[in-house]
Amino acid sequence: MALPARDQLKYWGLAAVLFFVALWYLGNIMLPFILGGAIAYFLDPVADRLETMGLSRTAATVVITICGILIFIVAVVAVVPTLINQALALIDTIPQLFRDLQTFVTTQFPSVSTPDSVVYKSLMSLAQTVQQNGGQLLEGVLVSALSVINVIMLLVIVPVVAFYLLLDWDNMVAEIDRLLPLDHAPVIRQLASEIDATLASFVRGMGTVCLILGTYYAVALMIVGLQFGLVVGFIAGLVTFIPYLGALIGGALAIGLALFQFWGDWLSIGLVGGIFVIGQVAEGNVLTPKLVGSSVGLHPVWLILALSVFAALFGFVGMLVAVPVAAAIGVLTRFFIGQYRGSRLYLGLSATQKDKD
Residues 152 and 211 in one domain: no
CA distances from 176 to 185, 272, 331 (A): 11, 51, 20
How confident is the prediction along the chain (357 residues), in pLDDT tens digits per residue? 456 667 767 777 888 888 778 777 776 677 778 888 888 888 898 999 999 998 999 999 999 999 988 888 887 777 767 777 777 676 666 666 666 666 666 665 565 555 566 655 665 665 556 555 555 545 544 444 444 455 556 677 888 889 999 999 989 989 988 888 887 788 888 888 888 887 777 777 777 888 888 889 888 888 888 877 888 888 888 777 666 667 788 888 888 788 777 777 788 888 888 888 888 888 878 887 777 665 455 677 777 788 788 878 777 777 778 878 888 888 888 888 888 888 777 777 665 555 555
Residues 102 and 49 in one domain: yes
Taking each helix axis from N to C terminus, what angle separates 300-341 and 185-199, rounded to the nearest 10 degrees? 160
Residues 98 and 203 in one domain: no
Residues 135 and 247 in one domain: no
Domain residue limits at 235: 182-297
The string of pLDDT tens digits covering residues 148-169 is 455 556 677 888 889 999 999 9
88 in any annotated domain: yes
Residues 159 and 189 in one domain: no
Q: What DSSP line would sit under 146-209, residue for residue?
A: HHHS-HHIIIIIHHHHHHHHHHTHHHHHHHHHHTS-TTTHHHHHHHHHHHHHHHIIIIIIIHHH
Distance CA 25, CA 260 (A): 49
Of 297, 330, 348, the residue that ends a domain is 297
**Secondary structure class of 244 (helix, strand, coil):** coil
260 in any annotated domain: yes
Quickly count: other Cβ atoms within 10 Å of residue 136's Cβ: 10
Which pLDDT does position 90 carry in this prediction?
A: 67
Residues 100 and 139 in one domain: yes
Of 297, 318, 338, the residue that ends a domain is 297
Q: Which of 281, 230, 280, 238 is nearest to 254 (CA)?
A: 230
70 in any annotated domain: yes
> pTM to 2 decimals?
0.65
Distance CA 174, CA 151 (A): 34
Which pLDDT does position 252 carry in this prediction?
A: 83
